[in-house]
Structure 1
């Protein structure tokens, strides 16, 4: 067990709003640095209890279950990845946890990243804001970063006014891009009928036309299943198959979804229909065959739409759009407050969200490698290359990806 005692003074001037700043009386606390799977597992009850006490949003990708299952499925395939979890304890109680991982990036750059990168859709930490004020949280984060023996600390997609945003507002550099999380606030609707009444008549008419057109091909239903059922497992496999097929058909990089162990991770996640928590898969069915599937995670009324996919052969029937509408019906009936479409930009999200949360990508470079990879590449060059690549015709993108995979010694299926 590696303990770091003491405080690091920081200024609170111009600190963003959204986190408590009232002073707390002095307390006995310590920071623990966890680097073993055994100690990681021992934290389970404390970590889960902290999640229940936390009032901060956007913390599913820092939850114990997501991190634990990720490490034992996807993480084990990366020999360069090492556990770097930092916790803050007060009087024997866990009051903050920041799950990170160290990994090697290009140029042998040693980097500290969110624990389940690149599938940590938001960078954040979990904190009991009743026990830890903003000043103490800033001290904790500063102590962690000071201890990190790396070239680069890279924190993509930090939600503004989140705990991590409050604690890192004056550290490192911010990417010069405008990223947002697309969220549909459903708390204003008592039922699905009220939601439908809120949209225009022309929109309702167009959506009904889509459903009627699809219904001519067979019996249309929508089904949802929480993790732990055979139906959930079947839909997860179908979603991954559909999504990777779409990525290949449209000439987009599928490396993120073809990572070794990802399927096993999703299949091993817990879910509970009674408490409405955990992993869940919903599908638009045509004669008992899934034609559009969504895999997501539900935590304290916040639903994260993790994977949305549709059958490529059914693309002319707008099955993806029909699926989203049915997913909203399910979400409202389930009591979901926030339906989160995550941050990856897509034109359709404007029609299915009513709130955009700004995100920051922040890097802290600590060597020339960190500056080259973190500042030059991640903050400036890569976003421009990605934007240009996505604007190319699909056949050009396919040719470029084929060349890149060949250079890497990868084969295309």
Structure 2
């Protein structure tokens, strides 16, 4: 090699080393993909990231927010292509599928502070006792009611001791206020079905989750009651009576006395309702049961920055700073339920009776923990729809659903 070539090689090497040194500023860059801040909470998430970066000046977080409709399609493409973000958000319905495919890393909880995180939410994102996700927020379902319609119907407001019978009596009184006014709305679909049958002492599967029990006597009775609200007493509108309106739209129009829905509705109802409203624990049939939903942040198994990613995930999940920001924004319920966070959450009204949110935590139920539960839900929905239409009785629908689903999934 000539002296000129050697000199050129040395200069090139020095340039490369200098460039690398210039880029190595001691900052670790991580990426975070989420959906839940989309549509109104982007600024809250930005404030959380800012707070984290102040405490961790050596970590820079780049946030990308997608709408829920596109999120899981885009996430699946990125994970399959080896382009997963360092940290990403999963709901409880999709968590197990990503864990089973090895897409997320186990989180070493001995290196982070999880002392303030609600135990129920932590357990929801464990596999065989190991932590694979850190919950950030959770939601349950409550009975939200229009106080003005209750006053017009001269009906006492709901209490935490109400049953379906009490709810029906109030719904019928409100229905009598006008042809286009309805008493109560619960959707008749799989996600509502598994909770309602639990309220009647039933379940979709046995305790070991080794066999389906769709057509049990308790389940048939519960479905019959659900359908009667639509086709019998008509305190719940039919599809035709809704005329393209959604259940939230009907409530906000002042034409619905009660709606059973999630606490994520609070901010929308606060902004858009022009009447007084409040909440209560959802009535049960023979016992109480209410939905449990939760979102978690997970660390990609392919991440080159797992330590920094875990620190960020732990901040979003368990820090009081992030929890207070979430509580003050009325963005579901933080999982770090310190006294300050609970006080801040209750201070944001309406609703006034936020104690009902916490009381409802005593009655949480979750769907069967099946990787293919989404498919089961779709199949069951076909039979529920035939029962709603009157093509099948509740007994016939659940008998046929039991036979089909048992044969397909067992």
TM-score of the superposed pair, with normalisation by structure 2: 0.30
Larger Rg: 2
TM-score of the superposed pair, with normalisation by structure 1: 0.29
Q: Which has the higher helix share?
A: 2
Q: Which has the higher strand share?
A: 1
More relative contact order, 1 or 2 (CA 8 Å, 6+ apart)? 2
